[in-house]
Amino acid sequence: MELERIYPMMDEKTAVDIDGNFQKIEGVTGQLTNEVKNHQISLNTLSSNVSDVKKTIANRGKEIIASEVVQSWLAKNEFKPKEAVATYADLPAVAEQKEIRGVLDTNQIYWYDNGKWTLQSRVDLNGLSNRSLVQTSNITFNIPSQYPTLQAAIDDLSTRAFKQGTTITLMIDAGHIVTTPLRLVNGDYSHFRIASKDAVVFVNLPSGVNFIFGNNAKMPVLSTVFDMQNTGANGYNIEDSCVAKVDSRCGVINAGVTCLYVRSSMLRAAYSVWSGGNDRTAWVTRGSIVSIPEANFNDCKGGLYAVYVSRSSNADLSNSTIDNSKATACALRVLRSRCTFISGSTQNSISDGIVATQASSIGCDNANVSGCANNGVSSMSGSSVDFGSGTANNCGGNGIYASGVSSIHADSATATGCNRNVAAIYGAVINFAGGKVADAKDKNLAVYSGGTIYATNVTNKGATVKTTDINVTSFNRLSTYGLIHNANGGYKTATGVATDTTATSGDRNVSHTLGVVPTYVSAQLYGANNTGTSVQITGVTSTSFTVRLLDGAGKPMPNTPFTVMYKVETN
């Protein structure tokens, strides 16, 4: 059959569902036939009108050619399909009027008119229903075997209509290295899915070039891992009202700058991978909303922060890891924003682990910040951090640190082996009730410049913490450093006046009511009848102590009545 000769011309990269709606055009195809026969339209008009059929044929190939309506259209318009040729140069110099041939190397269709071959860019089916041109089933195109680049594929295919729920998969061929970026602006590309036959696709871009860029767009679903091999700039860069989704275990790694950049946009990327960025693995900023739980942000190679959440953004990074960061300031920094980092990890950072600053909020209970070169978890400048049951061991600075009227809720947390395990400064408050400390190089608990630590039920290797664990003289006693509160075994005091009126006695046994041996006892002569100069305290027990009257030379003064005011204290 002559129609079969044009099969090789067809571009089978796409598919369009051409169904019974073709029958609707039979009543009007005569009009186009008459126009062609009578030469009532110019060659330019006809040339522009043939494109839609070319596109339609390209979309569904053999199904369209085999359809009765297309065969009828070709016959009525006296087109004569012939065998395709390899190149344009292979087209015959002389052919029949309205002969149609395909050119395989360019995948184009030409028709012979008035002694010359004319490229067809538009064909008007004259009444074909738009509904007939809607893709209703999923379809896959290969890159680069069918389209040379992701950009070329989306630029071409995004002009077509697709039924709700259908997906165009752009499948990157095995072994292909991507060398061109993808830029998507002002459109809905969410029915596209970028996948690959290899588990990881390598990318090689010039310096400063972002790989996947979106602006005010609904992004294709990313369903593979791209390894940028430390080339280019940002890996996955979406800005200004983009909406995006990245499938599990997919993402961009080893970007030349930042693996993931989200500005004023929304992203869902559970279980995704963004490791190895040369300047941050992720940056979420300017009111963005992201849900990236269980993600991998490990092995940041440089920059100030491995993951940065800033400027009124909201990030869910629950159970994610930001380990082994080489960022110079911290692994996770949250500035004027909200971040959930429950059960997350910033272990072995060369700087700080988690930092909340400028009225930020971080929920990171059960997180692990061990092994950081400086502070493990910090709350500063009016921020709040939930670090309940968290772990901050072997940090070079403070394990748990609050400053600048900030707070950390760290009940039942563990902080051991740090320079200071828990420290509050400049009016900050840390709730460390039920926590565990041990082996601090300086102090296990420390307050400075009005800091407060709640330390009830805190233990050091199983034993209740003692005054040797803290940097102030006693628990429950406000000092110029601050306050460390401990409800069990805390500060107690008792005062009184004792008089010895026995002429032969130089000592006075004084009873007290503390019930424990005081850690501090003071007494001073009181009243007008004292002839001695000072007193000496001896024999301190849980119920009493002895006061001895001394003269100016420090010798006992027996047979001299005296009166003293005393004070006993315990931590």
CATH assignment of the domain containing 435: 2.160.20.10
Which residues form the domain of 119? 67-129
What does the pLDDT average to over 439-464?
97
Q: Which of 380, 340, 371, 336 is nearest to 353 (CA)?
A: 371
73 domain-assigned:
yes
30 domain-assigned:
no
Q: Which of 489, 506, 535 is the last residue of a domain?
A: 489
Q: Which of 426, 456, 489 is the last residue of a domain?
A: 489
* pLDDT score of 100: 85
Q: Which of 489, 522, 538 is the last residue of a domain?
A: 489
CB 458 within 8 A of CB 434: yes
3 domain-assigned:
no
Kindly report whether the global pTM for this prediction surpasses the value 0.75: no
42 domain-assigned:
no
The owner of tokens 């369903």 is 223
Q: What is the pLDDT of residues 486-500, one digit of tens each?
A: 977 656 677 888 877
Q: What is the band of 160 on the pLDDT scale with cuts at 50, 70, 90?
A: confident
- Give the C-alpha separation, 78 to 569, whole Å: 113
- Give the C-alpha separation, 525 to 552, whole Å: 13
188 domain-assigned:
yes
Segment (H or E) for 370: none
Same domain, 451 and 524: no
* pLDDT score of 481: 97
- Give the C-alpha separation, 296 to 315, whole Å: 14
Phi-psi region of 480 (alpha: psi -120 to 50; beta: other; left: phi over 0): alpha
Share of the chain above pLDDT 90, in %: 59
**If 0-12 CB within 10 Å is exposed, 13-18 middle and 19+ buried, where does residue 38 land?**
exposed
- Give the C-alpha separation, 535 to 484, whole Å: 32
Sign of the Cα torsion 10, 14, 17, 21 reads negative
31 domain-assigned:
no
Q: Buried (b) or exposed (e) across 369-382, using 16+ Cβ within 10 A?
A: bbbbebbbbbbbbe
Q: How far is CA 416 from CA 412, 461, 492, in A?
A: 13, 10, 28
39 domain-assigned:
no
Same domain, 352 and 398: yes
Judged against a pLDDT cut of 90, whether residue 207 lies above it is answered with yes
Question: Long-range contact list for 50-55, CB < 8 A, 24+ apart?
Answer: 50/111, 50/120, 50/121, 50/122, 50/123, 50/124, 51/120, 51/121, 51/122, 51/123, 51/124, 52/122, 52/123, 52/124, 52/125, 52/128, 53/123, 53/124, 53/125, 54/109, 54/120, 54/121, 54/122, 54/123
Same domain, 446 and 473: yes
- Give the C-alpha separation, 249 to 226, whole Å: 11
SS (H, E, C) 309-348: EECCCEEECCCCECCCCCCCCEEEEEECCEEECCCCECCC
Q: What is the band of 70 on the pLDDT scale with cuts at 50, 70, 90?
A: low
Judged against a pLDDT cut of 50, whether residue 519 lies above it is answered with yes
Q: Which of 467, 520, 524, 468 is nearest to 494 (CA)?
A: 520
Q: What is the pLDDT of residues 458-497, one digit of tens each?
A: 999 999 998 899 999 888 889 999 999 997 765 667 788 8
What does the pLDDT average to over 315-334?
99
How many domains are contained in the chain? Answer: 4
- Rounded (5°) CA angle 244-304-373: 120
Same domain, 96 and 236: no
The mean-pLDDT minimum among 38-52, 142-156, 424-438 falls in 38-52
Q: How far is CA 293 from CA 252, 270, 297, 309, in A?
A: 16, 5, 11, 14
Instruction: Count CA within 13 A, CB hemisphere, residue 449.
Output: 9
- Give the C-alpha separation, 99 to 394, whole Å: 82
Same domain, 452 and 370: yes
Same domain, 334 and 409: yes
Same domain, 159 and 188: yes
Amino acid at 84: A
Q: Which of 221, 204, 323, 327 is nearest to 275 (CA)?
A: 323
What does the pLDDT average to over 433-439?
98
Same domain, 271 and 297: no
The 8-class DSSP code of residue 439 comes to -
Same domain, 201 and 264: yes
Q: What is the band of 120 on the pLDDT scale with cuts at 50, 70, 90?
A: low
47 domain-assigned:
no
CB 305 within 8 A of CB 279: no
As beta bridge partners, residue 546 has: 509, 538
Instruction: Count CA within 13 A, CB hemisphere, residue 92.
Output: 13
Same domain, 426 and 337: yes
Same domain, 208 and 274: yes
Same domain, 167 and 90: no
